[in-house]
Copies of this chain bind each other. A is one copy, B any other.
Amino acid sequence: MKPINEFYVRKIMREKLNEIIFGTTTRAGRNFDLILLLLILISVLIVMFESVQVWRSEYPRFFYFAEWGFTIFFTIEYLVRIAVSPNPLKYIKSTWGIIDLLAILPTYLTPFISGYTSLRAIRALRLLRVFRILKLNRFTSEAQALFHSLRASYYKIMVFFFFVLMIMILTGTMMYVIEGGEHGFDSIPASIYWAIVTTTTVGYGDITPATELGKILSSVMMITGYVIIAVPTGLITVGMARYKDDGKKDNVCDNCGHDNPFGSIYCNQCGEEVLS
């Protein structure tokens, strides 16, 4: 009976591990996710600090060992995920599977490339794994509410952006003509970059109008941008206010058709019981 027993133990072990590693509903699953999250954040912080010249040259050994330590841990985690998954291929091909692989791959490739290259910085993209937190409970519901309320105004915001982009391109071109290709307005794309920096009120000041007419046009643009910036805010605010209203759909009164607010038990127009 030993082989059967062994097989049985293995199956239970795999299921248990699967629950811990992939699950989010059990206590163990949640704890595993939180610890993993912490390790990812620490490893990303180390990548960040390694990018600072001074620290890189001062503690080369620390960064070397820390990086390999984390990579080996994440590799083991990745392999266990494959082993434990009921459908390993599906996991490997999934978005999360690819992100998990990308989080460890750069370190294995660095020995073949010299210097502190961009490849090394790319390791910071393992931060994407942090979004796994979205699977955790309370976080999800709040994030969903946020996204749903934005989805309502999605199309309107797109139309708005189409206009804003067209205006930015047109004003950018006009500024290029006005400033005569000088004072940083060297080309139309550069002028459009300036228009974006200005209309979004970022205003670096790396390119600023130097001619009288240029200053007048930018002034008009800024004051217009002043109102324009209010449009997405209005759209999103109304969308959010609406979302909560629309969320009530289950409270429409069967008797008088009144759309009662969320949580209603009796219709506030006719007093009928609302079946929710």
Contact = CB atoms under 8 A, between A and B. Distances in A.
A195 to B, nearest CB: 9
Q: How many copies does the complex hold?
A: 4
Contacts of A264: 268-269
Interface in A120-139: 121-122, 124-125, 127-128, 130-131, 133, 138-139
A198 interface: yes
B241 A231 contact: no
Contacts of A125: 170, 173
Given A188-B51, A200-B225, A231-B236, A258 B268 contact: no
Contacts of A124: 169-170, 173, 188
A165 B44 CA distance: 13
A101 interface: no
A24 to B, nearest CB: 16
Contacts of A163: 143
A263 B271 contact: no
Contact of A170 (B128, B166, B205): B128
Tell me which of A186, A202, A242 has the highest count of chain B C-beta atoms within 10 A of its own C-beta. Answer: A202
